[in-house]
Amino acid sequence: MSNFLRKTVLLTIAGGSSLIGAAIAQDAIVVSATRRAQEADTAPASIAVIDARGLELAGADHIAEALARAPGVNLHRGSGAEHLTAIRSPVLTAGAGAGSFLFLENGVPLRAAGFANINGLFDAHYELAERIEIVRGPSGALYGANAIHGVVNVITPAPSQTAAAYGEIFGDTEDRYKWKGSLANTYGRHGLYAAASAVSESGYRDDAGLDQQKASLRHIYNGDGLSVDTIFAFDNLEQETAGFIFGRADLFDRARRRTNDFPQAFRDAKSVRLQSQITAQLADGAELRVTPYARWNDMDFLQHFLPGNALEENGHWSVGAQSAYYFEREGFSFIAGIDADYTEGWLTEFQEGPTVFSFTQGLHYDYDVRAVNASGFVHGEYELTPATSLTAAVRVDGAIYDYENKAPDDNPVDRFLRPDSQTNRFVTASPKISIRHELTGDATLFASYARGGRAPQTSDLYRLQSGQTVNAAGPEIIDAFEIGARAALTERINIDLAAFWMGKRNFFFRDADGLNVNDGRTRHVGVEADVRIALHETLTLTSAVTYAAHTYRFERITGNAAESIAFGNDVDTAPRVIANTRLSWAPVDAVRLEAEWRRVGSYFTDAANDHAYEGYDLLNLRAEAQVAQGVSVFATLRNAANALYAERADFAFGSDRFFPGETRTLGFGLRFRH
């Protein structure tokens, strides 16, 4: 193994325990998806990590900006803190968008399985994260339900060994103001970390302001053979929400693109989470980790995207625990565990305004769901030869939903169907097998097969539409094959390549007629490259590039023929090319400059592939300089070329629709650390 690869430092992962070090050779921390520390070149999976330095330099106004640095990832930034996600997938919406990705903070899901939020990452405290880990492809064998297309894990910083303070303020020409700060220290066996951040912005669009506050507290106790790592997190979001603009003329009109036809829309959300990882060292080097947790969230928002503008109120609270037992012998390692949680959730939907088409005035839905999720997993790795290892894992997830309809039995119209109170059960299995081979020199090859599975979202089961039944939605299943290679081609060039094929069935979505589809099939085939080239001691080029085809593998005729699905059509909102390339220059230790070029290729905006958006190119510039001991100034110029582009493009109801991206924005900030 090369010195370059040996310099990759081991980190703990999904459990989210203490930071051991930082990778010093490749400016990236790479962790595995096996709930344990692992060298970068031994992970038989596609993993990207955005470390604290990368997050700090990016200074992201939205988590989509930070995740764009990883291959295979494409988040559509919505209004305020909202987003739609793509990881080796199209940009998914509704229940598919909520349930196909697993969003974690310190290894614990931000929301319970079955109660996910399509904008699920706005809860995470990414603004002050130690790192963000992105696992691409199905990862359910150890992570569990919802890890269909990928996992995003936001890690809270660990306490420092000595007293440390950090602070930052920032403002830009879009009337956006941010501040964040942290304090940390270690006192004997106890380490403490406290952090808070806030943002206030008037919004690029009319009536689209945002205010959000987050806080994180972390305490680590290191005893003799026992450690306890406790993390508390809080988030409060209040935003006015802008909707689509209509027509290409408005997209390219500098005045009209700032307008908002939905000034009444809003989203208010709050969440609280508490977890405590208890690690015990056992005999013969074995280890046991148990992580009890509790979480609560509540959200109100106006459904401005529907004709009736109904108000939805939803939330849930959970208590649960994760566990893992680690055992290792020369040439063999073994992990096994049980995870379980209990959740109580609720949802109401009420339309105050008059009836519009089939969107009737009055109560649409009012129900509670009590859910039990339990799963067990085993994972083993065996060294076949000094250069070759085989890994096998399997997880079985079980979910029980106890649904209670609290609305009247009579339906206002058949659009809003209210199932009778009932109990539903689902079981899914997520196996994975992979092989890794280390070549002579600085290269590693791997190949894997994985299956992901998830139960339906509760909103897909119990908030039914015309012609649907509660038994229509079944577990979504995806099968994935992947091959990859990592290599240090020279002392200056490092490359990470992957090719994947994935087939998904029981894809659940809503078609152009507004009806739920429960038996969709899609295929996802692509290649990814993550390349780092040290052009000079002071100049580095980094590029994350993806080419992928996401296609329908079934047919569906709709009332609107322009939206009918033909076998082999591209899934709408699935660009084949996405790329992020950065040139970083550090002429002296106290100065760093970065130019970032982001490319999102063209994509179809309707299922019939009759309408398309040409994609966009963005140029972002960043600079920072240390002006005194512990004090730095920094500047950002986003969309330096002042492109008129759309964060999201769509075609519906006979019209092109767009979420316009911000035009050229200049920002300045001051950073302090001690």
| Domain spans, the chain | 3-673
End-to-end CA distance of the chain: 37
The class (CATH top level) of 3-673 is: mainly beta
Q: How far apart are CA 157 and CA 195, in angstroms?
A: 9
- Distance CA(352)–CA(57), nearest Å, equals 46
Contact 279, 287 (CB under 8 A): yes
The C-alpha torsion from 465 through 101 and 217 to 297, rounded to 10°, is 10
Determine the distance from the C-alpha atom of residue 540 to the mean position of all C-alpha atoms in its chain, rounded to a whole number.
27
Task: Report which secondary-structure segment, H or E, holds 459.
Answer: helix 458-462
Question: Would you state the pLDDT for residue 33?
Answer: 54
Tokens of 589: 């230790």
Helix locations, 316-383, DSSP H? none
Cβ atoms within 10 Å of 469's Cβ, excluding its own: 12
E strand intervals along 5-138: 46-51, 76-77, 83-84, 101-105, 108-109, 131-136
Q: What is the pLDDT of residue 15?
A: 33
Counting every residue written for the chain, the total comes to 674
pLDDT on residue 511: 74
Going by their DSSP bridges, the two strands 245-246 and 287-302 should be labelled as unpaired
Sheet holding 150-155, edge to edge: 46-51, 131-136, 150-155, 101-105, 108-109
163: burial class by Cβ within 10 Å (0-12, 13-18, 19+)? exposed
- 424, 401 in Cβ contact below 8 A? yes
Asked whether the beta carbons of 140 and 453 are under 8 A apart, the reply is: yes
CA distance 413 to 411: 5
Model confidence over 74-107: pLDDT tens digits? 999 999 999 999 999 999 988 888 889 999 999 9
Tell me how crowded residue 70 is: count the other CB atoms within 10 A of its CB: 25
Look up residue 71 and give its DSSP letter. Answer: T
Q: What parts of the chain have a pLDDT lower than 70? A: 1-42, 410-414, 466-472, 514, 560-562
- Compute φ and ψ for 71, nearest 5 degrees: -65, 150
Instruction: Give 4's DSSP letter.
Output: H
| Cβ-based burial of 405 (10 A; exposed 0-12, middle 13-18, buried ≥19) | middle
Which amino acid, one-letter code, is at 567? F
Q: How far is CA 16 from CA 279, 389, 452, in A?
A: 12, 26, 23
- The separation between CA 459 and the C-alpha centre of its own chain, rounded to angstroms, equals 20
